Amino acid sequence: MGEKAFQDYYPDELSHCYGCGRLNEQGLKIKSYWDKEESVCIHEPKSHYTAVPGYAYGGLIASLIDCHSTGTAAAAKYRLENREMDTLPPIRFLTASLHVDYLLPTPLGGPIEVRARVKEIKGRKVVVEAWLIAGGNVCAKGEVVAVQVPEDMMLSLLKK
């Protein structure tokens, strides 16, 4: 994918998240992009994310759904406001609620695709539904309620 990922627009001060922070050396460094009205993230996890041999542990699955969904919430809010993702003040979201249903064991050893769609945008709240696909199967579904970081808090974080 040639375009910049949602996470590539995050200011350096806000790029340390374990799941999506490009500056976190031990993190997952996920990348999310628009695919029409859905967002997509392709991630190939390392073998140390094992639950039982050959399968991913649930925390990885939840992290992928969580960070992809909060990134999707931010990108959707920029779209709604008809703004480019590199305009100020930056729009970022934190997780208020994360619900994951594990449907099938998620195989390791290949790419995992996470897709998401915005269900609702209401003020500072965005509800995102997501599904995780591996080996051609939907292995998990999730819903994230993401809340926009207030502008005054965002500005104080950028000053640190």
Nearest 5°: CA angle at 17, between 120 and 47?
105
By residue count, the chain amounts to 160
The pLDDT tens digits for 1-35 are 569 999 999 999 999 999 999 999 999 999 999 99
Q: What is the pLDDT of residue 21?
A: 96
23: left (phi over 0), alpha (psi -120 to 50) or beta: alpha
Q: What is the pLDDT of residue 53?
A: 96
Q: What is the pLDDT of residue 12?
A: 92
142: left (phi over 0), alpha (psi -120 to 50) or beta: beta
Q: How confident is the model at residue 134 (pLDDT cuts 50, 70, 90)?
A: very high
The chain-wide mean pLDDT, for the chain, equals: 95
DSSP 8-state code for residue 160: -
DSSP 8-state code for residue 29: -
Which position has the token pair 């050396």?
A: 25
Percent of the chain with pLDDT over 90: 89
Task: Specify whether the CB–CB gap between 141 and 66 falls below 8 A.
Answer: no
Q: What is the pLDDT of residue 80?
A: 97
